[in-house]
Amino acid sequence: MPVYKDENAKKNPWYYQFYTGEIKGGKRERIKKRGFRTKKEAEKAMVEAQTAINKGEYLEPSKMAFRDYLNDWLKTKRNLGEQTADLYDSYLRTHIVPALGHIPLAKISAHDIELFLDVLHKKGLAAATIKRIFSVVNAALNAAQLKDLIQKNVANKVEKPQASRRRDLIVWEPEFVSSFLLTTYNDSRYWIAVYLAVMTGMRQGEILGVRWSDIDFENKTIHIQQTVTKKRQIKSGAKTKGSVRSVALSPETLEMLREHRKLILSERLKHGAEYKNHDLVVCTQFGGPVTSRAIQKVWDSFIKKTSAPKITFHDLRHTHASLLIKQGVHIKVISERLGHSSVSITLDLYGHLMPNMQEEAAAGLDALIKPTVTQKR
């Protein structure tokens, strides 16, 4: 069996080589591949290669570096949303390319990926993050296999990392929400963004993208039709098709918006031609889109001032949902307000906040069904 061990190799010393029986360029064609941990792995891979040759399915190993392939692959992923594409790019630059980019695409092994995952764990990355990074590597190699650049996706041989249990949602009680909003009211022009998050359950990008023309003061609704990305770009649409929606507003919310609009109108007059009028509700003093970093800075200052339980701005969506649940609002209405693609997502997230629903439902049956048997049997 033409399988050999390279005694000078520091790792994965086994390799195979054999002649195909074909003559190319006046020379006998030879197939050679290195990088196997054990003799058994090399023998198995060689048999697979010989079988592929006999079937006419053998692929010449690509000499392209994994980093070059990844760059090309990401450019062709046109079905990715902008935020997802940015996330993929970040994973490639920060983790994947530095660790695996130098390896030729055709020579990446399952062992290489296992070592890579171990490095991510040692960096202290969250289990969910490691799982997402692995998914990117796996998707890239799947695409390479479909394009016949490699024979098989070696990531399928790797035990997939498991995400840790979803963290418990932290929600604020109504009394604390009221105190928090009152205490921070005069601290920042971006207070209105926090208020809208509590009162509407909108995502941060949706709040930053709301225009005055999207608010129907007469019918007490707000229409979510665009968002602002982390790069301050105004983008039509929303996270998903279901996220383009209308949300009913309370009378107090409408009053707060009217009050905030006075500030916006005064700044338009003050800055004149310098004012960039995007019609945004939450904007800079010159009318431009607000960065998520600016919101984060304000949010951190609010948390510090009030000594509030530490939650993220996004967690205000959860508080909004919990406030509705406390009022007995139907779960489908809550799902529609949050812009979830299905009620099952809402139930999965907030079902634990409704522990008494079955008890109340059972008790309610007594009010509907009156027993007709008055005597004991």
Query: Is the pLDDT at 165 greater than 60, yes or no?
Result: no
| Gap between the Cα atoms of 324 and 329, Å rounded | 5
Q: What is the DSSP string of 194-235?
A: HHHHHHH---HHHHHH-BGGGEETTTTEEEE-EEE-TTS-EE
Which of 12-16, 19-23, 122-126, 257-261 shows the lowest mean pLDDT across its residues? Answer: 19-23
pLDDT, position 363: 67
194: pLDDT confidence band, cut at 50, 70 and 90? very high
- Report phi then psi at 64, rounded to 5: -65, 135
Q: What is the mean pLDDT of residues 31-40?
A: 84
Q: What is the mean pLDDT of residues 265-281?
A: 94
284: pLDDT confidence band, cut at 50, 70 and 90? very high
pLDDT tens figures, 98-118: 999 999 998 899 999 999 999
Q: What is the mean pLDDT of residues 127-137?
A: 91
Q: Is 280 exposed, middle or buried (0-12, 13-18, 19+ CB in 10 A)?
A: buried
Query: Is the pLDDT at 285 greater than 80, yes or no?
Result: yes
164: pLDDT confidence band, cut at 50, 70 and 90? low
| Gap between the Cα atoms of 19 and 41, Å rounded | 19
Q: What is the mean pLDDT of residues 288-314?
A: 92
pLDDT, position 139: 94
pLDDT, position 369: 74
367 Cβ contact partners less than 8 Å away, ≥ 6 residues apart: none
Which of 183-192, 208-217, 262-271, 307-316 shows the lowest mean pLDDT across its residues? Answer: 307-316
Verdict on whether the full-model pTM lies above 0.95: no
373: pLDDT confidence band, cut at 50, 70 and 90? low
364: pLDDT confidence band, cut at 50, 70 and 90? low
Which of 6-10, 113-117, 253-257, 258-262 shows the lowest mean pLDDT across its residues? Answer: 6-10
pLDDT, position 199: 95
* Mean pLDDT (the chain, rounded): 86
Q: What is the mean pLDDT of residues 199-211?
A: 94
Strand partners, 23: 28
Which of 45-54, 209-218, 365-374 shows the lowest mean pLDDT across its residues? Answer: 365-374
Q: HSE (CB half, 13 Å, CA atoms) of 172?
A: 26
pLDDT, position 260: 97
pLDDT, position 375: 53
Query: Is the pLDDT at 61 greater than 70, yes or no?
Result: no
Query: Is the pLDDT at 255 greater than 70, yes or no?
Result: yes
Query: Is the pLDDT at 248 greater than 90, yes or no?
Result: yes
Nearest to 201 by CA among 302, 323, 82: 323
What sign does the CA torsion over 249, 254, 255, 260 have? positive
* Residue carrying structure tokens 């009156």: 370
Which of 42-56, 229-243, 283-297 shows the lowest mean pLDDT across its residues? Answer: 229-243
